Chains A and B, each alone.
Chain A
Amino acid sequence: MLNKDIKKVIVLGSGALKIGEAGEFDYSGSQALKALKEEGVETVLINPNIATIQTSENIADKVYFLPVTAKFVEEVIKKEKPDGILLAFGGQTALNCGVDLYRGGILEKYNVQVVGTPVQSIINTEDREIFAGILGEINVRTPRSIACSSIEEARAAAEKLGFPLIIRAAYTLGGMGSGFSSNMDELNKLADNAFSYSPQILVEESLKGWKEVEYEVVRDRFDNCITVCNMENFDPLGIHTGESIVVAPSQTLSNAEYHKLRELSIKIIRKIGVVGECNVQFALDPNSEDYRVIEVNARLSRSSALASKATGYPLAFVAAKLGLGYGLHQLKNAVTKVTTAAFEPALDYVVVKIPRWDLTKFTGVSKNLGSSMKSVGEIMAIGRSFEEAIQKGIRMVGLGMHGFVANSGQAKIDDVEEELQQPTDRRIFAIAEAFHHGHSVDKVWEMTRIDKWFLQKLNNIYILRNELEKFNKLEDIPYEMLLLAKKQGYSDFQIARLVLKSADEKINGDLIKVREYRKKLGIVPYVKQIDTLAGEYPAQTNYLYMTYNGSEHDIDFQHDDQSVIVLGSGAYRIGSSVEFDWCSVNAVNTIRQEKYRAIMINYNPETVSTDYDTCDRLYFDELTFERVMDIVDLEQPKGTILSTGGQIPNNLAMRLHRQHVPILGTSAEKIDNAEDRNKFSAMLDRLGVDQPRWSQLTTIEDIYKFVDEVGFPVLIRPSYVLSGAAMNVVSNRDQLQHFLELAAHVSKEHPVVVSEFIENAKEIEIDAVAKNGEVVAYAISEHVEFAGVHSGDATIVFPPQKLYVETIRRIKKISRQVAQALEITGPFNMQFLAKDNDIKVIECNLRASRSFPFVSKVLKTNLIEIATKAMLDVPFEKPDKSAFELDYVGVKAPQFSFHRLLNADPVLGVDMASTGEVACIGENFYEALLKSMLSVGYRIPKKSILISSGPTRGKVEMLNSARMLKERGFTIYATGGTHKFFLDNGIQTELAYWPDEEDQSPNTLELIRDKKVEMVINIPKNHTKRELSNGYQIRRNAVDFNIPLLTNARVASAYIYAITKMSEEDIIIKSWNEYK
């Protein structure tokens, strides 16, 4: 029955997290690897994303931290001689790589079988014309569409179909290069851009306003098919499904509609010949049963990860097994363990997915939502009413909102009608605001075309808000109304704000009053299980959520002091993503190893930590104070771990502590001492540890006075931001004035922190574990960039290659002092500036940091395991000193997603902008750097580079690089100043004119657009408006025309050194365990 020829396989991962391809593939890959392991198949994983669970020990038999490209995969195939390869679990990256391998004849050459869906089927779904043709054969409707390979063809197609139209680029990630056009001008622009991503584009009829519905379909080799889940977009078609609020199951479809689309999905999967899983997206006419098939993804997708979490059906796990030859009916339902996997989950709850955007992190980006994806993460909320789930979900997104209503000024929308018609990331709050302005559901529907059912539900929340607001005392609220509020997902915070009219500084106390009062009335949430069969069969499931729409718990609570709660990291966002999931999961693993029961709280459907297999109990629920307290009340755990889930749990420390929640590890007071800038600063002074001078200021005059003292440049951090980046470095008085006028609000309530900014300083980090104030394990790493680039955007080297021994010694010493002073038990991270041997502390976090998985894996010492044991107060082995001596180097490189963020300036600063990272291991720094850079999408230029090296320092830094390039026969195009500087130093470059010198040739933009350069190095210089605008245009065009861009001189020179000293062929193909 099973395919016995498959004894060893390669699994392709998805590389760094990026917009459109994020943590969901860690989850699906991990599941697939687990399934393969269970069948005794040897697994080799290729994935440079070192922060993932799937690249951890004991998941795959071998891990290669290498780029997922045909070239490298071929090398691994040569070396490992696998029987099969799995392409469906690493997103579009793995799929594209698989298609390349197939087309290049590599799979055939090495006799590697594709496990699961055949490559030809994949190709058929990727090429829209072929795809539409195939569906046409089985009378399935697709949008009328014309494939074009030139602008002229696109224009002709537009004439034929009529506007409005949608333009799509074939073979791209999640709708890249796509958009709506309502006239020829827009079409020209869009088409031009789309052609830069793909040789083929599609001009299609627009179905704006139709419902968007997806099905997750599974097929086995016996042709048995099921649809595991359907999902309905809250937003009508026109907004990318990754940008849309999504509910599962569908809410507004009749049985006939639901099953018509289900039947079509099955018809399609059979026709395509998928073995495993695929996703079918439909447009459904809101006024009839007419439909179009929009897209099919013949692989695991973001939606399939969501569907798995929404239903409890492990799609990736099952898909991997089906690939090996099982039939659905031969597999068990992983939740009930007694029933079969050949079934369709019945839900007795509703889930709502909401995207998380971080658009404020970027300058210049358009906030409008459209047909391409910009969100960086998502959450899933579970409830037994839509109102409950959506309010939970809005809180989970973590942008300071408390639900649909009762938010502070941040939710204010200036032009509600504009916002409703041209939605941005704040649309949901515009709906609340519209109700507040007296708009009816019908009026809001007219402007949004969001199905009235959803709007009516939101209106229910709004109506109750007005009712609650009429009361001033908790005791006056009728019991039924208070209960209804909780059933509609109102938090204690919202009730406090509406009823007690609590001011911001009092609300944390007042919400406890609400909590106490409702508990007295017996208004408490109940714990329900997700069991895939809506209670039809008994299931020993530990997959849980909480609801007020219930009257009993599904589970019992053992108050035996043997359980430990771990708080997860919430939605992936810029600054907190898969690395904290790795930390959480490793904490959970260690807790279980130590024979305690691990209870996980998290709500991010893209994670492994929310896989119910990972822990003893999973509460897929909020990480708010209120919900954590609810769970602590019920579970009465031995302890709670706050230090492995990033900043969200960390921020709860003091409040939980005040409620006597047992916190494992460093005490809440000490966490507060590190978090509170003043307390921390005073402590450093006491210890005699240096830090950049800083001050918290409340008036403009004080700011100027302070700057006069410390001198420019300064780092300025407002607590209330009007627009633009929250943090900035300013180098002169003009800039400071400009920033304070435009971006910041300064007052007593909103102080500004100004710090001295030290130029050309090295930035160094330590990730460490301490027990009772004694450092027991540590990893010191250095940034390639000078300080000023956010540590999350920095290229990090571990172990450090260019630090003075003295520097390292001092850093160790300071860390020990701080650990002792703060009596740290558990993980912590500190960041330092070093100039010569002068060390200053810039940050200290008493929790795991972003780089823990990186250093743990390079070091082969799991710092989280040690930290967790320290926190549990169980014995552990202190790593031997020699463990810190490595004969190889790890380099972590950031992944940016600027190509997704229309108009955003792809430049790095003190605020983080990267969406993910990779890390590769090499024999030396340059080899590791090259692997890492190739892994995040850089290509090795062969002939020509454009350099615009900015300030003098940049020019000097690039001089040697330019020389090396010339020696290797490169043509260097350089902008005016750079050209002159190089010439003066004896390097011949070609002058390239600035974008605004339009009539001069060669113009920089022309070089980029015509692909006459293979790489752009543009070092920004913040001086005149003209330079800013020219620089921006060069950078933006490089991104838009998909030409690798470097904006940091230190990274650029290191990269050029690497590519001139070695070629791709010199890269050594070694698996993780071969580095010893």
Chain B
Amino acid sequence: MQNVQKAKLILEDGTVFEGKSFGYEKSIAGEVVFYTAMTGYPESLTDPSYTGQILVSTYPMIGNYGVPNDVEEDGIFRYFESDKIHVSALIISDYSFEYSHWNAMKSLGDWLKENEVPGLFDIDTRALTKILREKGSMLGKIVFEGNEIDFYDPNEENLVSRVSVDDIQTYGNGDHKVVLVDCGVKNNIIRCLLRRNTTVIRVPWDYDFNTIECDGIFLSNGPGDPAMVQETVENVGKALDDVKPIMGICLGNQLLGRAAGGDTYKLKYGHRSHNQPVLMTGTDKCYITSQNHGYAIDDKTLPEDWEPLFVNVNDQTNEGIRHKTKPFFSTQFHPEASSGPVDTEFLFDDFITNIKKYKKQ
């Protein structure tokens, strides 16, 4: 029997779950959200979009294949989505103290400890998920005995500024120059671009990229409320006057929508999973997508010259938009996947096609 420290997860509605610690032992507060993916915890934990969130895994058995090695490729980690763990804490049901994988370097628990991130197991994550589903994502805190803390709402601050780069960084040496607006970008977006003959110029979230000479603009994913990221929206707004291709993902979708004049709103409990079906509007093309977002564009507020590109088949929420004439489009889901299904990676090809067309003109 493992001797482990106990800790409590306390929700803002007063619900208390008692669990056992397998990560770093400190109390922490944040927004509690659940995700239903069955694979990819190293990718998810390092996804900057989860900043400020206590992540609940509905899949009960986590840690099975350990944590992969930290080799770098093209200046970024090959097996992680950023340089560190971004979730505030991880809540699971059954932890594998022993792991097994050819590519594993360490256990999930050790990795959490190194990153000073708490992890609790032995919690009925299905029961917890049902609360979040019924009442919506809510604030919560993990409390170790003798270390009381207050609730904290991450959505009230500009999380993007916390996860974006400080300075411009350049990757690759391809023919197409793409400015990547980093609102908390996942490494796989960079990898997907680099695989397509690009040079990626990663700029801080509030940088006026319109000053940079390039062939296309990429708006990254990122954490929190899009309304907090006004500077980026303004910069995107300027780019919309031009015809330079733009592609956005997730928060990038919401920022493009807001720049176009649309509104965004908070979903009850968001989409965080690998199995979200989206339909390309006006077609019978349906794709299974990886998602991780709490906010969405309100379709009805889009101006005349914009239209929905994808819609969620389950709840009819917006999953992407495009300009009716100009080469601007974005998706609420993650075509870069990692983790999750890779069915929509072709959208990067569409972006490059737009760039090629643009360059011909």
A3 within 8 A of partner (CB): no
Residues facing A in B99-113 (CB within 8 A) are 99-103
A451 with B38, Cβ < 8 A, contacts A224-B286, A348-B60 known: no
User: Whole-angstrom distance from the CB of A760 to the nearest CB of chain B?
Assistant: 61
B337→A346 contact, CB < 8 A: no
B288→A342 contact, CB < 8 A: yes
B37 within 8 A of partner (CB): yes
A534 with B59, Cβ < 8 A, contacts A254-B65, A329-B277, A329-B284 known: yes
A347 with B102, Cβ < 8 A, contacts A255-B339, A329-B313, A552-B127 known: no
B61→A342 contact, CB < 8 A: no
B341 within 8 A of partner (CB): yes
A807 within 8 A of partner (CB): no
A441 to B100, CA, bound (A): 11
A452→B98 contact, CB < 8 A: yes
B313→A534 contact, CB < 8 A: no
B43→A327 contact, CB < 8 A: no
Q: CB-CB < 8 A to A263: which residues of B?
A: 341-343
With an 8 Å Cβ cutoff, the count of chain B residues facing the other chain is 56
User: Whole-angstrom distance from the CB of A201 to the nearest CB of chain B?
Assistant: 34
Q: CB-CB < 8 A to A262: which residues of B?
A: 341-342
A328→B286 contact, CB < 8 A: yes
B274 within 8 A of partner (CB): yes
Q: CB-CB < 8 A to B17: which residues of A?
A: 551
**B290 to chain A: closest residue by CB:** A259
A554 within 8 A of partner (CB): yes
A255 to B59, CA, bound (A): 14
A464 to B342, CA, bound (A): 41
User: Whole-angstrom distance from the CB of B73 to the nearest CB of chain A?
Assistant: 13
Partner of A549, one of B37, B40, B58, B124: B124
Partner of B275, one of A345, A349, A456: A345
Residues facing A in B10-62 (CB within 8 A) are 17, 34, 36-40, 42-43, 58-61
Which of A245-253, A611-619, A746-754, A1057-1065 lies on the face that meets chain B?
A245-253
1/0 contact trace for A133-150 toward B, CB 8 Å? Answer: 000000000000000000
**A441 to chain B: closest residue by CB:** B98
User: Whole-angstrom distance from the CB of A445 to the nearest CB of chain B?
Assistant: 9
**A552 to chain B: closest residue by CB:** B127
**B340 to chain A: closest residue by CB:** A259
B277→A343 contact, CB < 8 A: yes
A538 within 8 A of partner (CB): yes
A337 to B133, CA, bound (A): 17
Residues facing B in A308-340 (CB within 8 A) are 327-329, 338-340
Q: CB-CB < 8 A to B317: which residues of A?
A: none
Q: CB-CB < 8 A to A535: which residues of B?
A: 34, 36, 58, 126, 129-130, 133
A222→B285 contact, CB < 8 A: yes
A384→B94 contact, CB < 8 A: yes
B68 within 8 A of partner (CB): yes
Q: CB-CB < 8 A to A526: which residues of B?
A: 124
**A286 to chain B: closest residue by CB:** B102
Residues facing B in A453-486 (CB within 8 A) are 453, 456-457, 464, 467, 480-481, 484
Partner of B1, one of A340, A345, A451, A484: A484
**A249 to chain B: closest residue by CB:** B38
A550 within 8 A of partner (CB): yes
B126→A528 contact, CB < 8 A: yes
A386 within 8 A of partner (CB): yes
1/0 contact trace for A83-103 toward B, CB 8 Å? Answer: 000000000000000000000
Q: CB-CB < 8 A to B98: which residues of A?
A: 441, 452-453, 456
- Inter-chain contact total with CB atoms closer than 8 Å: 175
B279 within 8 A of partner (CB): yes
Which of B1, B93, B286 has the most CB atoms of chain A within a 10 A radius of its CB?
Answer: B286
The SS class assigned to the A binding surface is: loop
A537 to B127, CA, bound (A): 13
Partner of B286, one of A266, A329, A480, A537: A329
**A531 to chain B: closest residue by CB:** B126
B199 within 8 A of partner (CB): no
A549→B285 contact, CB < 8 A: no
A254→B61 contact, CB < 8 A: no
1/0 contact trace for B330-350 toward A, CB 8 Å? Answer: 000000011111110000000
A222 with B286, Cβ < 8 A, contacts A347-B59, A534-B129 known: yes
A288 within 8 A of partner (CB): yes
User: Whole-angstrom distance from the CB of B280 to the nearest CB of chain A?
Assistant: 10
A349 to B279, CA, bound (A): 29
A585 to B100, CA, bound (A): 43
Q: CB-CB < 8 A to B340: which residues of A?
A: 255, 259
User: Whole-angstrom distance from the CB of A171 to the nearest CB of chain B?
Assistant: 33
Q: CB-CB < 8 A to A226: which residues of B?
A: 288
A250 to B59, CA, bound (A): 12
User: Whole-angstrom distance from the CB of B3 to the nearest CB of chain A?
Assistant: 10
Q: CB-CB < 8 A to B103: which residues of A?
A: 254
B96 within 8 A of partner (CB): yes
A287 within 8 A of partner (CB): yes
A342 to B312, CA, bound (A): 11
A1006 within 8 A of partner (CB): no
Which of A441, A535, A536 has the most CB atoms of chain B within a 10 A radius of its CB?
Answer: A536
A348→B125 contact, CB < 8 A: yes
Partner of A384, one of B38, B60, B287, B313: B60
Q: CB-CB < 8 A to B79: which residues of A?
A: 256
A350 within 8 A of partner (CB): yes
**A346 to chain B: closest residue by CB:** B36
Q: CB-CB < 8 A to B96: which residues of A?
A: 453, 456-457
B314 within 8 A of partner (CB): yes
**A338 to chain B: closest residue by CB:** B314
B126→A550 contact, CB < 8 A: yes
A327 to B342, CA, bound (A): 21
B277→A255 contact, CB < 8 A: no
B155 within 8 A of partner (CB): no
A453 with B60, Cβ < 8 A, contacts A252-B100, A343-B277, A534-B129 known: no
Partner of B277, one of A223, A340, A350, A552: A340
A533 within 8 A of partner (CB): yes
A343 to B93, CA, bound (A): 24
A551 with B124, Cβ < 8 A, contacts A255-B339, A343-B275 known: yes
**A344 to chain B: closest residue by CB:** B275
B61→A536 contact, CB < 8 A: no
B161 within 8 A of partner (CB): no
User: Whole-angstrom distance from the CB of A436 to the nearest CB of chain B?
Assistant: 19
A988 within 8 A of partner (CB): no
Q: CB-CB < 8 A to B134: which residues of A?
A: 538
A467 to B3, CA, bound (A): 14
A549 with B60, Cβ < 8 A, contacts A342-B313, A385-B94, A451-B100 known: yes
A258 within 8 A of partner (CB): yes
Closest 3 CB pairs of A and B: A255-B40, A534-B58, A453-B100
The residues of A with any CB-CB pair to B shorter than 8 Å are 222-226, 249-256, 258-259, 262-263, 266, 286-288, 327-329, 338-340, 342-350, 384-386, 441, 451-453, 456-457, 464, 467, 480-481, 484, 526, 528, 533-538, 549-552, 554
Other than the given A224-B287, A254-B39, A342-B313, 18 more pairs (CB < 8 A) read A250-B39, A254-B65, A254-B101, A256-B79, A258-B38, A259-B342, A329-B277, A329-B284, A344-B341, A347-B38, A348-B125, A453-B98, A536-B129, A537-B133, A538-B133, A549-B93, A549-B94, A551-B123
The residues of B with any CB-CB pair to A shorter than 8 Å are 1, 17, 34, 36-40, 42-43, 58-61, 64-65, 68, 79, 93-94, 96, 98-103, 123-127, 129-130, 133-134, 273-277, 279, 284-288, 313-314, 337-343
The 17 sampled A-B contact pairs (Cβ below 8 Å) are: A223-B285, A254-B68, A287-B102, A327-B284, A328-B286, A339-B314, A340-B314, A342-B277, A343-B288, A346-B58, A346-B275, A441-B98, A453-B98, A526-B124, A535-B130, A549-B60, A549-B124
